[in-house]
């Protein structure tokens, strides 16, 4: 069975202009971790809500897409289409 790699987009419920893009093999565990304050990058903007998840069968394609969403043009795409 192929393990899917997930690229996800979170939005802060307390600071709506704050977003976080990440990559994981276990999305529910990762979102719980963000909301528990276990990630220094996201702790001060919790709680977080899921905006988008995209599953990839190729880890490399998932990494490439995450990197794109974190780039300038990727952020513009993300805002235009998902937020």
Reply yes or no on whether the pLDDT at 2 is more than 80: no
Cis peptide before 10 (omega within 30 of 0): no
DSSP state of 15: S
Instruction: Note down the domain range covering 50.
Output: 5-82
CATH for 53: 3.40.1440.10
Could you identify the residue written with the tokens 């998902």? 82
Instruction: Provide the number of structural domains found in the chain.
Output: 1
Kindly state the percentage of the chain with pLDDT values over 90: 95
Mean pLDDT of 7-25: 96
- Whether pTM > 0.85 for this model: the answer is yes
Could you identify the residue written with the tokens 């513009």? 76
Per residue in 52-62, pLDDT (tens digit) is 999 999 999 99
The pLDDT value recorded for residue 18 is 96
């Amino acid at each position: 069975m192929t393990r899917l790699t997930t690229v996800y987009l979170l939005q802060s419920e307390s600071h709506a202009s704050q977003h976080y893009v990440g990559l994981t093999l276990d999305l529910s565990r990762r979102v719980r971790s963000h909301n528990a304050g276990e990630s220094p990058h996201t702790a001060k903007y919790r709680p977080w809500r899921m905006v988008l998840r995209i599953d990839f069968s190729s880890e490399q394609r998932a990494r490439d897409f995450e990197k794109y969403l974190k780039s300038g043009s990727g952020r513009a795409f993300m805002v235009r289409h998902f937020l």
